[in-house]
Structure 1
Amino acid sequence: MNIGDISSTEETVGVAVVNYPAPILSSMEDVIQNTRKMSSMLEGAKRGVPGLDLMIFPEYSLQGFKP
């Protein structure tokens, strides 16, 4: 395993902590669009890092703040 690799076994969990800025969202459509963006990030990360089991995002990353 190289430095920076994420791997998991039956006894361990591969975890990534994401520095994702909490967005300003003003409608349900904005929330849905942000959800799709985050889902795309998750899919890409899983393809690029197969040992990844869990991604942790900051609070309000999904639903954002309402102005």
Structure 2
Amino acid sequence: MDYEHEPTRGPGAWIGAGLLVAVGGAALIVVSRVEPDSLLSAVIGWVLVGVGVMTAAVAVWWSARRRR
């Protein structure tokens, strides 16, 4: 069976992806504090943290909804 082209079952992958995006955004925020004049990195970091948290929150909601 060709598992590479199978759809992902369940929201577990989305929760993990959202958390990884949030961690990457947090890393950009930390780097922007170390480097001077890196406002763009801070803005991108905060956007990524927001998108990651929202993705994980929607996936958790989806998971709870599927269990009913």
TM-score per shorter chain, which class? 0.3 to 0.5
In proportion to residue count, which structure has more strand? 1
Which structure is richer in relative contact order (CA contacts within 8 A, separation 6 or more)?
1
Normalised to the residue count of structure 2, the TM-score between the two structures is: 0.38
In proportion to residue count, which structure has more helix? 2
Normalised to the residue count of structure 1, the TM-score between the two structures is: 0.38
